[in-house]
Structure 1
Amino acid sequence: MGTAALLNSSVLVLNRNWIAVHICDARRALVLLYQDLAQVVTESYETLDFDSWRDLSRFARDGEVVHTPCYPLMIPQVIKLVFYNRFPPLRVRFSRRNIYLRDRNQCQYCGARPPREEMTIDHVVPRSRGGRTVWENVVLACSVCNARKGHRPLRECSMSLIRKPRKPHWLLGTRLEFNPESRPFWQKFIDEAYWNVALEE
């Protein structure tokens, strides 16, 4: 992986209580580390400041580091902020972008992934039948499926959903859709954030 790709890779950000609050790019993570505003969290859950991380980076394989004029630096997977103690946002904004992210740019009726200009946002229960514009009632649909469904409920047009629409987890509102298989070390922190967030009454 080249330097630009490494610097654009995603880093999980924890608050000082070890709760996941954000995802940033590696460039930002290294700046926070250098400014002593964050520490790297290793896979053994040690925290390292910039000097310790720089020293450890000397032993890394070449493809895992970015080269500065003076020394190589590994890209961390997780950083912990030194002072920030707030919690993650509890709600994901209801927006087109976040509907696309939640539905993975995929038609929720047939599974196709056409270009964005051929995708529409469909009301599962049509507005003409009392359907509301809420997370649980809107999905991405390709233009073919949307035309086939029209203003009818699913049972009237013999169609079904791939996934039931629901309000997404707060991490959806960050830079990327989290895939636990791609970042196994993140899973512990993501699970903790999910289970420790206060629920709405």
Structure 2
Amino acid sequence: MFFADQNLSLEKCPALVLNADYRPLSYYPLSLWSWQDSVKSVFLNRVTIVSNYDRVIRSPSFNMKLPSVIALKSFIKPQSNPSFTRFNVFLRDKFSCQYCGSNQELTFDHLLPRSKGGETNWGNVVTACSSCNVKKGGRLLKNSEMTLNQKPYQPSTEDLHKNGKNFPPNFLHKSWMDYLYWDVELEA
């Protein structure tokens, strides 16, 4: 959904933050800064303004269009091995149960249950809905009569970015579209 800039409250005017290579710092959650942080970074000369909202901010001594897309002047090297977090496991597994495909009431499932010495790591944990998690219980996968849609693996940051592109935020400003890839029409 697109918003008419001039009618938007300032709190609803975040800036899309790009790395120095003009790629978003992250896709999910999308790398956004508040209008205050983006304006402050402009004045500290840490970013380049790539695009603006039609919205103007004013003070007694100056006025400027509010940045809608900014690029960092210094490149931030992406982390090559993402942290093992619940969110990143869900993102790796595209927010769906690895047994039935549901996206409701998601939890972790240990393929080798912790009660049998299973560890909580990338290779042993998958996303499961509550029903499938209860159905599998403390059994080994081979004894559960259940099958996995995808084996667990340690994703790269690029894997998580690719999956994050499938989950666009609730709002997208038109000036962001050239930097986000889910709606860009490719030339033949």
In the superposition, the TM-score normalised over structure 2's length comes to 0.62
What RMSD in Å do the two structures reach over aligned CA positions?
A: 3.4
Unpaired runs of 5+ in structure 2?
Answer: 26-30, 169-176, 182-188
Q: Secondary structure at the match of 1:68?
A: strand
1:163 to 143, 147, 150: 150
SS in 2 for 1:136: coil
Shift of 1:79: 0.6
Native 8 Å contact 1:13 1:24 kept in 2: no
Q: In structure 2, which of residues 62, 77, 91 is the aligned counterpart of residue 87 of structure 1?
A: 77
Matches within 5 A, 1:60-139: 64-69=53-58, 70-76=63-69, 79-81=71-73, 84-114=74-104, 118-139=105-126
In proportion to residue count, which structure has more helix? 1
The answer on whether the counterparts of 1:65 and 1:75 sit within 8 Å (CA) in structure 2 is no
1:143 paired to 2:130 = yes
Q: CA deviation at 1:150?
A: 1.5
What are the equivalent positions in structure 2 for 1:50-65 lying under 5 Å apart? 57=52, 64-65=53-54
Of 148, 166, 178, 2:164 maps to: 178
- For 2:13, which of 2, 6, 9 is the aligned residue? 6
Partner residue, 1:25: 33
1:144-165: CA deviations, max 9, x gaps? 1011112223333232223332
Q: Which runs of 5+ in 1 are unaligned?
A: 42-52, 58-63, 188-201
User: Percent identical across equivalent pairs?
Assistant: 28
Partner letter of residue 79 of structure 2?
P
Please give the TM-score of this superposition, normalised by the length of structure 1: 0.59
- Measured against aligned partners, the alpha-carbon deviations of 1:19-51 in whole angstroms (never above 9, x if no partner) come to 86833425334432232111145xxxxxxxxxx
Per-residue displacement from partner, 1:54-97 (whole Å, max 9, x unpaired)?
Answer: xxx5xxxxxx4333123433411x5132xx35522232221223
The 1:163–1:30 alpha-carbon spacing in structure 2 relative to 1, beyond 3 Å, is farther
1:49 counterpart residue number? none
**CA offset at residue 184 of structure 1?**
5.8
Question: What secondary structure sits across from 2:71 in the alignment?
Answer: strand
8 A contact 1:40–1:80 mirrored in 2: no
